[in-house]
């Protein structure tokens, strides 16, 4: 079961160590896109002078929807099926904060990415989404969002972060490897083992391609 972060109380703080998700040859991850949008001409944006990570607000919804569509398009282009990874609607994004901490990255005056995470039993932070606009993927926008998630997880006493990744998508598995996520080892901490057991009891642990 999940619970909003604001309801988390009383867990002992510790240095958070991000931990990837997946067993055997599988990995951890998330994220966004839509193939129809992939034909749009992309260009690398200039390096932002400042990246600020803030909570999702109504003014962010339209640009976040565009990021969602473009990033999912990238995953679909690399072989992830639309059935396995559907694109969120504007309503879906607006409802994410009901069970997630949703954070938006502002690169100077531009909305450049977003992430969503939640606390899952028995106290593992699960990253549901991390998506960066293709024009900003060469800049540290994703790492700024992850830094904010790690900061919030530490403040809540959460030691480990987990994420599901798409093996065929370089903006998924490969990216999380650069951000110090690792496959879950056989001798994973007890919290992570319990989390995997609870997830498996609720349904398939991983989708095809993760």
Structure tokens at 107: 């690169």
More confident residue, 18 or 190: 190
> In the predicted model, what is the mean pLDDT of residues 179-198?
92
For 193-208, what is each residue's pLDDT tens digit? Answer: 999 999 999 887 777 7
| Other beta carbons within 10 Å of 141 | 27
DSSP 137: T
Comparison of pLDDT for 6 and 76, the residue scoring more: 76
- Whole-prediction pTM value? 0.78
Please state, for a pLDDT cut of 70, what percent of the chain lies above it: 80
| Tokens linked to 162 | 């987990």
Structural domains of the chain, ranges and CATH numbers in brackets: 2-7+16-202 (3.40.630.30)
- The span from the CA of 97 to the CA of 150, in Å, is 18
Percent of the chain beyond pLDDT 90? Answer: 66
């Amino acid at each position: 079961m999940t619970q909003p972060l604001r309801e988390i109380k009383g867990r002992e703080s510790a240095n958070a160590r991000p931990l990837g998700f997946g067993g055997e040859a599988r990995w951890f991850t998330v994220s966004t896109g839509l193939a129809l949008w992939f034909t749009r001409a992309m260009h690398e944006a200039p390096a932002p002078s400042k990246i600020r990570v803030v909570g999702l607000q109504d003014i962010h919804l339209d640009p976040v929807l565009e990021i969602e569509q473009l990033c999912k398009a990238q995953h679909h282009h690399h072989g992830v099926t639309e059935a396995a990874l559907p694109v969120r609607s504007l309503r879906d994004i607006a409802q994410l904060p009901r069970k997630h901490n949703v954070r938006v990255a502002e690169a100077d005056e531009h909305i450049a990415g977003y992430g969503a995470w939640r606390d899952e039993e028995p106290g593992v932070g699960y990253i549901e989404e991390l998506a960066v606009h293709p024009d900003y993927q060469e800049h540290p926008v994703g790492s700024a969002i992850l830094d904010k998630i790690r900061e919030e997880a530490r403040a809540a006493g959460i030691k480990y972060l987990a994420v599901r990744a798409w093996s065929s998508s370089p903006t998924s598995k490969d990216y999380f490897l650069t951000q110090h996520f690792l496959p879950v080892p056989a001798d994973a901490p007890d919290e992570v083992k319990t989390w995997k057991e609870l997830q498996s009891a609720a349904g398939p642990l991983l989708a095809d391609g993760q």
